[in-house]
Amino acid sequence: MGNDGYLPLFETKRANGRTLYRVFAGSIFVGICLIWSYRVSHVPRDGEDGRLVWIGLLAAELWFGFYWFLTQAHRWNLVYRQTFKDRLSHRYGNELPGVDIFVCTADPVIEPPMMVINTVLSVMAYDYPPEKLSVYLSDDAGSQLTFYALLEASQFAKYWIPFCKKFNVEPRSPAAYLDSISISDDSKQPKELATIKKLYEDMKNQVENVAKLGRLPEVHLRHKGFSEWDSYSSRHDHDTILQILIDGKDPNAKDSEECVLPTLVYVAREKRQQYFHNFKAGAMNALIRVSSAISNGQIVLNVDCDMYSNNSLAVRDALCFFMDEKKGHEIAYVQFPQNFDNITKNELYSSSLRVISQVEFHGLDGYGGPLYIGTGCFHRRDTLCGRQFSREIHNEFKIDIPRDREREETTAVLEEKSKVLASCTYENNTEWGKEMGLKYGCPVEDVITGLSIQCRGWKSVYYNPERKAFLGVAPTTLAQILVQHKRWSEGDFQILLSKYSPAWFANGKISLGLQLGYCCYCLWATNCLAVLYYSIVPSLYLLRGIPLFPEPSGVSMEWWHGPRLVE
């Protein structure tokens, strides 16, 4: 508690053992300097074998040393965050801002509709006032199958949400939850569980049957939503398809316990061959505009369709940061780690991103905040749309201003109005994709967008709660990993050369530590040159009998053999 009796909604703690780490890093640095000095002082003379290669090794070692220095930005100053959700509830009760959740999908084959709707259902069931929650599914494939699955999910949600709340279920993705309890003793389970299991299995069978058949049965096609596909000629050529499947403001939209349901919207933005779609960034920007007309939540959460909510309290966690009266007004986004539930035992390709999520992002958080990494990130809507940070403006969450929309317009009118916002031409001659929304033209649209937000003066927060907030599907094959890492490393390198480069544009706008931290990722790709050189050339020279490393001296050989001799 501060002197003024103020209880913060979150606290930030520095990591223990920082001094120890710094001493350790200092010793490594001494080692690096010794290697450099050996290399410089033993350069073969002109005309001697291996002179050029030696100089090449020196260059590689200088690079490694420099890169090691950059990585210290990720390790020097780790911080950990903790939230106080009870204080949030006590102080604000239900006076909480609207939260709009964007789920993106792009291909019903790679991202099966059952996985997509499990993600959607998990976020619809957040422990948060449902009238303040709206979920938008962006479908870049414009797939009838995905729409059909979402339609089924909107019915299932009427039973699933009350069930989750009654039994305090975790996680709230039906597939993950039902999998987790299937091994326990059936006789002790409430009868509601059997009912929900049956409902889920029925829905799953129906969706999977439709997927297998490849077309929808006549009876399903009667839903008015399917008529939207009349304009559809291919996934790259169709009008905007937009359906409000649950309108939270509709008095008839109630769950099985007569409670309000969160709003649920399906959007497939307009696609035309002659307009570039800008991948996920284009989808997100269309959703930002569409949601502003429908629910206009002040907080926006983005999750990929392969990453379900594993912690129903995550929205409240995020709000503890945004709504803290003293520090909340500086925070633009709260990034949760990407965790995965399909990590193989030996983690052959290190796809768990463990070092990034358990070390590096805590380090960046100590210098002003982590990168925005796409999924599992809560944003303030207005910062995402380009607002500058201003010290004068404190928290101004416009709490509880539900426009009485029923009287103004019906759901159908609202749908028509919103469709325009997702059209191809809407962004012509606007700042969308540049200063507004997510930036276009970069394979890691999220990272460059986050950097530009931080350069406008905002901070971000990394929150890594004990119960993981999101669990996703990590790539498992070498081919998938290579594609993903190529995209990330190429994208990050592009940022270094772009107008938003952390090396020069960010100078003076973000802290030096954060600049170095960004550079470390941006130079990831260039590391390969030194690594390839270092791993190939010395071996080739050894074959020719030319050593490029010092021979072990008497003392070091003794040290090496000593313990073995004792054994």
Ligand X SMILES: O=c1ccn([C@@H]2O[C@H](COP(=O)(O)OP(=O)(O)O[C@H]3O[C@H](CO)[C@@H](O)[C@H](O)[C@H]3O)[C@@H](O)[C@H]2O)c(=O)[nH]1
Q: Does residue number 484 form part of the binding site for ligand X (CB under 6 A)?
A: yes
Element (H, E) at 335: strand 331-335
Q: Which is nearer to ligand X, 151 or 305 (CB)?
A: 305
Give me the amino acid identity at 360: E
Q: Which of 305, 332, 453, 510 binds ligand X (CB under 6 A)?
A: 305
Is 239 an active-site residue? no
Q: Which is nearer to ligand X, 343 or 399 (CB)?
A: 343
Q: Does residue number 104 form part of the binding site for ligand X (CB under 6 A)?
A: yes
Give me the amino acid identity at 100: D
Cα(152)–Cα(327) distance, integer angstroms: 42
Q: Which is nearer to ligand X, 166 or 487 (CB)?
A: 487
Q: Does residue number 492 form part of the binding site for ligand X (CB under 6 A)?
A: no
Q: Does residue number 241 form part of the binding site for ligand X (CB under 6 A)?
A: no
- Dig out the tokens for 195 from the structure: 């009912």
Cα(19)–Cα(531) distance, integer angstroms: 31
Nearest distance, CB of residue 365 and ligand X, angstroms: 19
Coil vs helix vs strand at 328: helix
**317, 324, 446, 492: the active-site residue:** 446
The burial class, CB within 10 Å (0-12 / 13-18 / 19+), for 391 is exposed
Beta bridge partners of 459: 331
Cα(508)–Cα(160) distance, integer angstroms: 50
Here the contacts of 177-186 (C-beta below 8 Å, separation 24 or greater) are: none
Rounded (5°) CA angle 328-333-339: 125
CA nearest to 514, candidates 70, 79, 82, 81:
70
**100, 140, 239, 317: the active-site residue:** 140
Q: Does residue number 365 form part of the binding site for ligand X (CB under 6 A)?
A: no
Q: Does residue number 469 form part of the binding site for ligand X (CB under 6 A)?
A: no
Q: Which residue number has the CB closest to ligand X? A: 374
Rounded (5°) CA angle 293-294-298: 80
Is 446 an active-site residue? yes
Q: Which of 61, 100, 131, 140 binds ligand X (CB under 6 A)?
A: 140
Q: Does residue number 279 form part of the binding site for ligand X (CB under 6 A)?
A: yes
Nearest distance, CB of residue 291 and ligand X, angstroms: 15
Q: Does residue number 105 form part of the binding site for ligand X (CB under 6 A)?
A: yes
Q: Which is nearer to ligand X, 60 or 496 (CB)?
A: 496
Measured from the Cβ of residue 459, the count of other Cβ atoms closer than 10 Å reads 21
Q: Which is nearer to ligand X, 168 or 274 (CB)?
A: 274
According to DSSP, the β-strands at 99-105 and 79-83 are unpaired
**Residue 508 — left, alpha, or beta (φ > 0 → left; ψ -120 to 50 → alpha)?**
left
Nearest distance, CB of residue 301 and ligand X, angstroms: 12
237 is in an annotated binding site: no
Total residues contacting ligand X (rule CB under 6 A)?
A: 16
Q: Which of 301, 444, 471, 548 binds ligand X (CB under 6 A)?
A: 444
- The stretch near ligand X (CB under 6 A) out of 81-89, 101-109, 230-238, 360-368 is 101-109
- Known catalytic residues? 140, 446
Applying CB under 6 A, the residues found at the interface with ligand X are 104-106, 111, 138, 140, 279-280, 283, 304-305, 374-375, 444, 446, 484
